[in-house]
Amino acid sequence: MTHSLHFKPYQQFVQEGRKFWKSDLYADVMREAEGKSPGELTGTQALAAYSWFEKNLQQAKYYGPHGLVETFRRNGGLEQDRDFDLEPGEMQAWNDTLPGYYRDTGFHQHNPGVWPSLGDALAYEYATNYFSFSLIAADVPYKRVAEIVADLASELEAPRVMDLGAGYGKLAFAIKRAVPQAVVEGVDLSMPLIKLGQKRTGEMNLDVNLFCHQAEQIDQLGRSFDVITAYWLLHELPQEVTREVVAASYRALAPGGYFVSLDMHRATGGELGEFLQKRHGVANDEPFLEDLLTWDYEKDMAAIGYEDIRLIDPVTRSDFDVDKPLPAERTHEFSVLIGRKPETAK
């Protein structure tokens, strides 16, 4: 797909702005925070500048003159829809079933979401291939989760893996490459993303099955899985839906199977870290991020039946240290939550 000559320079300009935000402006906030409670930061010039850049750079990324959504919506027309086997009638019938928390929320300031059109799906694909959390290499978090899945399923001849909120399949593809013998599937609520993913699987000659389905109904497929993953999904769910997803996953897991979630389950840096993380949820149109930060995952998962519940660092694999200080540059630190279904469970 061709773009304006200004598209890539514009997006690079936005990324340079994000680097300034995560370093210089964040450092100003950290200096201002010394000796103050988080509440005392409200109204300071340092926090105002930091927050303005956080919100408006994201908006510029998607909706500026060469923003992702505007660009890909212009280029993702009817011919593209036909090429991707995206039938308007089929899509409308599916969209009528979308849960309100998903349909009515423009996550990441991508309004109204990634479900209305192929252009929205292509914008999301571009974003996940060229940008990443905290500006690290885009593929790194996916590879780390795929490596964790490979280790958990190392003793199985042909592990069955289901990825929830799979999008166009980026994590599912990474898992299939890491565990070639695995039977890998993925579900998502966005039909354009699923159709895009189906096309990409063919282009890459990867045997991955992607289809539309609700994560909280994953136990209704009539088959079990050895590993169920949720990549950057739970912070986009109301807390009660997160509980439903984790419970449905437990029912869908084979005995001894694992639930694996990569997300912003907990903030580091004490009160200031939690304060900045919650403000990120507001600035970036992530209304359920606070639900995840306050979710008592140990209590709920244990009540469902999970054992060996762990929150780990995806790099070191050691316990995630919520007490460690905030880093020198702003980052949305993610952790991996793992729970196991007992071998004796039905």
* Confidence band, pLDDT 50/70/90 cuts, at residue 219: very high
345 lies in some domain: no
- How much is the pLDDT for 75? 75
**Same domain? 89 vs 142:** no
Residue 61, token pair as written in the block? 């990324």
**Same domain? 119 vs 150:** no
Q: Of the ranges 69-73, 205-209, 339-343, which one carries the lowest mean pLDDT score? A: 69-73
34 lies in some domain: yes
- How much is the pLDDT for 78? 43
**Same domain? 29 vs 104:** yes
- Mean of pLDDT values over 115-135: 82
> Is it the case that residue 14 has pLDDT exceeding 60?
yes
- Mean of pLDDT values over 201-209: 96
Domain that holds residue 36: 7-130
- How much is the pLDDT for 79? 44
Do residues 288 and 101 touch, judged by C-beta distance below 8 A?
yes
- How much is the pLDDT for 76? 62
- Mean of pLDDT values over 129-138: 68
**Same domain? 124 vs 142:** no
346 lies in some domain: no
- How much is the pLDDT for 332? 83
- How much is the pLDDT for 29? 98
What is the residue-averaged pLDDT of the chain? Answer: 93
**Same domain? 98 vs 201:** no
- pTM attached to this predicted model: 0.95
Do residues 269 and 333 touch, judged by C-beta distance below 8 A?
no
- Mean of pLDDT values over 210-215: 98
- How much is the pLDDT for 87? 80
2 lies in some domain: no
Q: Could you tell me the CATH number of the domain that includes residue 179?
A: 3.40.50.150
194 lies in some domain: yes
> Is it the case that residue 270 has pLDDT exceeding 90?
yes
Strands annotated E in the chain: 160-164, 183-188, 208-212, 225-231, 253-263, 307-312, 335-340
Last residue of one domain, picked from the residues 130, 153, 170: 130
- How much is the pLDDT for 83? 64
- Mean of pLDDT values over 172-193: 98
**Same domain? 123 vs 93:** yes
Rounded-to-integer distance, Cα 235 and Cα 96, Å: 23
**Same domain? 145 vs 288:** yes
22 lies in some domain: yes
Residue 68, token pair as written in the block? 């992702």
**Same domain? 317 vs 200:** yes
**Same domain? 335 vs 264:** yes
pLDDT digits (tens, 9 = 90+) for 60-100: 999 988 999 988 888 765 445 556 777 888 889 999 999 99
pLDDT digits (tens, 9 = 90+) for 34-45: 999 999 999 999
- Mean of pLDDT values over 216-227: 98
Do residues 313 and 266 touch, judged by C-beta distance below 8 A?
no
What count of other Cβ atoms lies within 10 Å of the Cβ of residue 57? 19
- Mean of pLDDT values over 293-299: 98
**Same domain? 163 vs 69:** no
Last residue of one domain, picked from the residues 98, 130, 162: 130
